Amino acid sequence: MTDARKSVVIVGRPNVGKSTLFNRFLGEQAAIVEDHPGVTRDRHTREVEWLGRHFNVVDTGGWMPGGSTLDSKVSRQVEAAARSADLVLFLVDASVDVHDDDEAIAAWLRTTGRPILLVANKVDNARREADLWQFLALGLGDAVPVSAIHGRKSGDLLDVIIDQLNLDSEPLAKTDNFVRDPETKEPRVAIVGRPNVGKSTLFNRLVGEERSIVHDMAGTTRDAIDTRVETENGPVVFVDTAGMRRRSKVDPGTEYYSIVRALRAVDEADIALLVIDAVEGVTSQDQRLAERVDASGCPIIVVLNKWELLSTERKEEVEIEMHRRLYFIGDSPIVKLSALTGKNVHRLLPLLTEAIVQYHRRVPTRDVNRVLAAAQQQQPAGQGARVLYALQGAVDPPTFTLFVNRELPQTYLRYLERSIREAFGFGSTPIKMRVRQRSEQT
């Protein structure tokens, strides 16, 4: 997708501080940082503003020539990002000598034809700055010093980037934000599930390119990766998240922060795609995860992935498990598909559009009171209790406030909620009902 903003891609071998520099540019902990290699794997893109100029910065995994299958996939992600960059920041570690992998990366970057800015990280003092001459051996000119962790000379580096990009002083229109824009309210769709159920495969299928790394090792995705996609009904931001396991099995450090970001993505989402491995069926962890998503208040679409691998008998068993274990999500849509082959993936977008419209729907006050009056006339609450007045106080999710003369039974509140849901076509979208008790004279 075309973006009006220019793109700056940070590349380098593992553990040179790419994600730390990415976070420094943003002024927040957007990327997970750990003191060991291989934490970042997917491309992570965010907008940076400096002195009224705007550009996109892309964090990438460590480029590792000749590594494992997973390492090779990470490296291909780095190469794809670098080839599309307006400027490549080649990050090296000034605390050690020039590494063989630094030379290999420099040789490869020269073949891309992209502008390259050599940046020496971990230059925490003047002595290290005086030792930067060794990086002239890479053939990319003088290295720009910076200490990403302490912020030393980070402003100077941003000045050089702005100069290299030749950006105008006027900020560009925000055409492709990777965080929720409070003005455009682009809907966010979080793809959640247990590890290794096919979330990243589905994410790549929906966005139309390999943005998330797919591997048969559980836990490949670490950060929540956002990508804006233009659809027939407007832009949608899809968010790929890390797989969530039981808390007792979560390792401290990288995995813990991955899950924190995944849960935050759920809380910020307008709708969640709950991906379940149909081969394994609906597990207890799927059930707990569905409860967590349901508690966040966003609609759920259940995705039964790898459906084509099931026998007819097994399909019937999984459907029974669905109704038994996930009864509390009501009439949430269920899509049976194959993220790997793309079969039935096209059925998701219409359901997403419908769910998003329902999630943002606002009902006029007079219509709310008309429906509730008819519901109460058809089935009174009993003992003189009734709704005096009602209004919709919020959306995302739709929230209704009922002013009553005395406490209403929970069963009757569910009856009123069902009446509102059916009358205004809220489908499976969660509805919040708030009750305020007051006397009829006020």
| Residue 119 pLDDT > 70 | yes
CA distance 153 to 159: 10
- What is the pLDDT confidence band of residue 66, given thresholds at 50, 70 and 90? low
Q: Kindly state the average pLDDT of the residues 175-197.
A: 63
* pLDDT score recorded for residue 394: 87
Q: Which two tokens stand for residue 329?
A: 């999500």
58 and 109 share one domain: yes
Q: Are strands 87-93 and 300-305 parallel, antiparallel or unpaired?
A: unpaired
Going from the C-alpha of 260 to that of each of 22, 187, 224, 286, the distances in angstroms are 19, 21, 10, 17
Decide: residue 31, CB within 10 A, 0-12 exposed, 13-18 middle, 19+ buried: buried
Q: Kindly state the average pLDDT of the residues 35-47.
A: 56
| Residue 87, in any domain of the structure | yes
Nearest alpha carbon to residue 306 among 202, 386, 218, 397? 202
> Which helix (H) or strand (E) element contains residue 157?
helix 154-165
| Residue 38 pLDDT > 60 | no
278 and 154 share one domain: no
* pLDDT per position as a tens digit, 321-343: 888 898 888 778 899 999 889 99
Instruction: Provide the total of helices (H) and of strands (E) in the chain, helices listed first.
Output: 12, 15
| Residue 98, in any domain of the structure | yes
Nearest alpha carbon to residue 152 among 21, 305, 261? 21
| Residue 30 pLDDT > 70 | no
Whether this model's pTM surpasses 0.85? no
* pLDDT score recorded for residue 51: 81
Q: Kindly state the average pLDDT of the residues 46-55.
A: 84
Q: Assign residue 431 the CATH number of its domain.
A: 3.30.300.20
Nearest alpha carbon to residue 61 among 212, 250, 277, 276? 212
Say what percent of the chain tops pLDDT 70. Answer: 79
Identify the weakest region by mean pLDDT among 72-86, 139-153, 202-216: 202-216
Q: Kindly state the average pLDDT of the residues 348-357.
A: 87
* pLDDT score recorded for residue 90: 92
| Residue 251 pLDDT > 80 | no
146 and 208 share one domain: no
* pLDDT score recorded for residue 27: 78
* pLDDT per position as a tens digit, 369-425: 999 999 999 998 888 888 899 999 888 888 999 999 888 888 999 899 999 988 998
If one counts every other C-beta atom within 10 angstroms of the C-beta of residue 171, the result is 12
Q: Kindly state the average pLDDT of the residues 34-52.
A: 63
214 and 327 share one domain: yes
Q: Kindly state the average pLDDT of the residues 235-244.
A: 77
Q: What are phi and psi of 301, to 5 degrees?
A: -115, 120
How many structural domains compose the chain? Answer: 3
CB 268 within 8 A of CB 188: yes
CA distance 103 to 108: 9
CA distance 93 to 24: 16
* pLDDT score recorded for residue 228: 74
* pLDDT score recorded for residue 176: 35
- What is the pLDDT confidence band of residue 200, given thresholds at 50, 70 and 90? confident
140 and 213 share one domain: no
* pLDDT score recorded for residue 401: 92
| Residue 243, in any domain of the structure | yes
Question: What SS3 class is residue 373?
Answer: helix
If one counts every other C-beta atom within 10 angstroms of the C-beta of residue 423, the result is 16
110 and 155 share one domain: yes
CA distance 127 to 185: 49
CA distance 51 to 18: 22
Work out the widest C-alpha separation in the chain, in whole angstroms. 88
CB 395 within 8 A of CB 362: yes
Nearest alpha carbon to residue 279 among 343, 192, 218, 196? 196
CA angle 226, 174, 221 (to 5 degrees): 10
* pLDDT score recorded for residue 358: 86
15 and 157 share one domain: yes
Q: Which two tokens stand for residue 218?
A: 């559980």
Q: Which two tokens stand for residue 406?
A: 């005395």
- What is the pLDDT confidence band of residue 298, given thresholds at 50, 70 and 90? confident
| Residue 436 pLDDT > 70 | yes
* pLDDT score recorded for residue 303: 92
| Residue 1 pLDDT > 50 | no
Question: What SS3 class is residue 372?
Answer: helix
Give yes or no for a cis peptide into 397 (omega within 30° of 0). yes
First to last CA, the chain: 57
120 and 33 share one domain: yes
CA distance 384 to 368: 21
Whole-number mean pLDDT of the chain?
A: 79
32 and 106 share one domain: yes
- What is the pLDDT confidence band of residue 255, given thresholds at 50, 70 and 90? very low
Residues 6+ apart with CB under 8 A from 231: 349, 353
Q: Are strands 334-336 and 188-193 parallel, antiparallel or unpaired?
A: unpaired
32 and 150 share one domain: yes
CB 238 within 8 A of CB 377: no
Give bridge partners of residue 389 from the DSSP assignment: 403
Q: Assign residue 317 the CATH number of its domain.
A: 3.40.50.300
* pLDDT score recorded for residue 221: 41
Q: 418: domain range?
A: 365-437
Q: Kindly state the average pLDDT of the residues 333-361.
A: 89
